[in-house]
Copies of this chain bind each other. A is one copy, B any other.
Amino acid sequence: MNSLPAHVREKLSAVSTATLCTALFKRGLRNQFVQDVRPVNAKPHNMVGEAFTLRYIPAREDLNPITVFEDRAHPQRKAVEECPAGAVMVIDSRGDPRAASAGGILVARLMMRGVAGIVTDGGFRDSPDIASLPIPAYHKRPSAPTNLVHHQAVDLNVPIACGEVPVWPGDIMVGDAEGVVVIPAGIAEAIADEAEQMTAFEDFVQERVLDGFSIIGLYPPVEPQTQVDFAAWRAAKGR
């Protein structure tokens, strides 16, 4: 899984999920922000990586005694050992946080293996421990019960739903303090480029606004002078 060139990863590390959502909207993609999922603990840099997915279905009691994890090929444990370095593990928990999607030990193992982050639309257990790890982790809310109560892992790396959004294996996941956005793999570079340009303009606008300017004519820049001023600002800032 080396589809994500370093320069694209770098650009995506420096833009916000809000800006990325607008870039996606311009291409007709309206539903790429993972809904109702938040960082366990905000990190100073964005999470960026290709999606490696894990799919849960509701647990059936006879198939989910505590002993299932003794199976070395159990999909959840396999996922943790197979998720590529640099990727983001994304879990389809059907939006159900009543039992954990994963816990502190598995998240720590992912981190040690170089995984870039983990996202679930359910909840993590050991969330206070996870909050203290450097790896970015996103969930709906803390959830102490073992996943065996409600979740059974069945598939690795198939298309899934996460937070009401489609996630295809290899899609680029970007997370900041606001949440997580999913970028279709094929347009990741184009989106990164556009978002970088948009970010420069938004930074310029924010500066202007904090200097007291009105947004009318400035944002969007329908006033021709805005374009002139922005060009000067870019030159001055070297952006």
Indicate the size class of the contact surface on chain A: 35 or more
Q: A22 to chain B: which residues have CB within 8 Å?
A: 66, 146
Q: Give the residues from 104 to 158 in chain A that come closer than 8 angstroms, CB to CB, to chain B.
A: 104-106, 108-109, 112, 125-129, 141-146, 148-149, 152, 154-155, 158
A177 to B132, CA, bound (A): 13
Q: Give the residues from 73 to 96 in chain A that come closer than 8 angstroms, CB to CB, to chain B.
A: 77, 80-81, 94
A25 touches B144 (CB 8 A): no
Most chain B CB atoms below 10 A, which of A18, A80, A177, A219: A18
B144 touches A154 (CB 8 A): no
A108 partner, pick from B58, B141, B210, beta carbons under 8 A: B210
Q: A17 to chain B: which residues have CB within 8 Å?
A: 144
B210 touches A112 (CB 8 A): yes
A-B contact list, 24 entries, CB within 8 Å:
A18-B146, A22-B146, A25-B145, A26-B66, A29-B61, A30-B145, A30-B149, A33-B143, A57-B161, A60-B168, A60-B184, A69-B220, A70-B222, A77-B216, A108-B210, A109-B215, A112-B209, A127-B178, A142-B177, A142-B178, A142-B179, A143-B178, A152-B159, A152-B166
